[in-house]
Amino acid sequence: MSGGGPIPGGAATPADKPGRDWDEAMFAAAAERHQRELQIHCYRMLGSLEEAEDHVQETFLQAWRRRDSFEGRAPIRAWFYRIATNACLQTLRRRPRVTPAAEPGRLPPYSQFPWLQPYPDRLLDVATPAEEGPDALVVSRETIELAFLAAIQLLPASQRAVLILREVLAFSAAETASLLDSTVAGVNSALQRARATLRKFQQSRPPEAAISAPSEQERALVQRYMDAHEQANPRAVIAVLREDARLTILPAGLCWDGRDEITPDYEEGLGLLGDWRCVPVRANRQPAVAHYLRRWGESQYQAFSLVVLGIQDGAITEITTFAEPGLFTAFGLADTA
């Protein structure tokens, strides 16, 4: 993660200073420029794609209503981030905090966070206009993967906000303090505590983990996973799993740890509901698969679940299943196949 960099918002221009002279069209243009990156920010804060979309809309509604109060000392981007971050903080403070037990060096199961949802790569790819600063800060792989999203769920809301603003988006300590109505000392202290918590769950990452483009090995492994489902071959699914693989089903909060624990579930359930059709997609800069199900006696495949895969050392280490057909739209997928 980046610990510094240029001022993220850049220099303010007359068109970036809302006020009484701004009409709806001018405001809408500014909102459109920053909508996607703000959605990613809210997604990191909340872990939920649907909640992130709602909070961005609330951000722009509040910004329009309060446009006369914008003093223009900082770019409008920072103003939007201030409103969005504080809206997320209000939501997080109403959400019961989860502090699950976890093995040192390994993240707790994603099943501890039933609100967690995947983020489509197709939306990450259009996140930030080039003139607004380094795109990589907004969509870098290590800060959008499910593992990072799960890890920061363990942080108190204020520490999460500081970590994201400072180390993901490269706001300075002074800028972060201003956005959060805090002090530089308070921001630095919160960042140190957040780092200490995350260090407990850091896992070693192979060099290829920093590469966003899928490798041939990864594509072949995903194809084997999909073929196994479409052929209703549970043993073929088990064959691509690492011994310590984890299977999670959200939002139900179900979890199976280890290949031995996962095996009976696949052996008993893979062909239980009907036939499968699989479509490869990408989510959170990771390989993912959209599962369509044709139930016994029916003629059409219906959207069923989205699965995000974790891959290391040529094997699948995580199968995170989101049993939410409503997410298919965000991935540009049809309801039937």
Could you read off the pLDDT of 136-175 as tens digits, one per residue? Answer: 455 677 899 999 999 999 899 999 999 999 999 999 999 9
Nearest to 316 by CA among 295, 288, 275: 288
Q: Tell me the whole-structure pTM to 2 decimals.
A: 0.88
Nearest to 151 by CA among 98, 190, 210, 189: 98
CA of 40: how far to CAs of 52, 241, 246, 254, in Å?
7, 30, 26, 26
pLDDT above 90 as % of the chain: 70
- Torsions phi, psi for 291 (to 5 deg): -100, 125
pLDDT given for residue 24 in this prediction: 83
pLDDT given for residue 17 in this prediction: 55
Instruction: For residues 103 and 305, give the distance between their C-alpha atoms in angstroms, rounded to a whole number.
Output: 29
Tell me what the mean pLDDT of segment 101-125 comes to: 85
Instruction: For residues 287 and 90, give the distance between their C-alpha atoms in angstroms, rounded to a whole number.
Output: 33
Instruction: For residues 312 and 303, give the distance between their C-alpha atoms in angstroms, rounded to a whole number.
Output: 28
pLDDT surpassing 60 at residue 69:
yes
Tell me what the mean pLDDT of segment 292-297 comes to: 97
Domain extents for the chain? 14-199, 212-331
pLDDT given for residue 5 in this prediction: 32
pLDDT digits (tens, 9 = 90+) for 7-25: 344 434 444 555 555 678 8
pLDDT given for residue 211 in this prediction: 52
pLDDT given for residue 270 in this prediction: 94
Q: Give the lowest-confidence range in 96-110, 126-140, 260-274.
A: 126-140
User: Domain spanning 212-331 has what CATH number?
Assistant: 3.10.450.50
Angle between helices 49-65 and 24-46 (to 10 degrees): 140
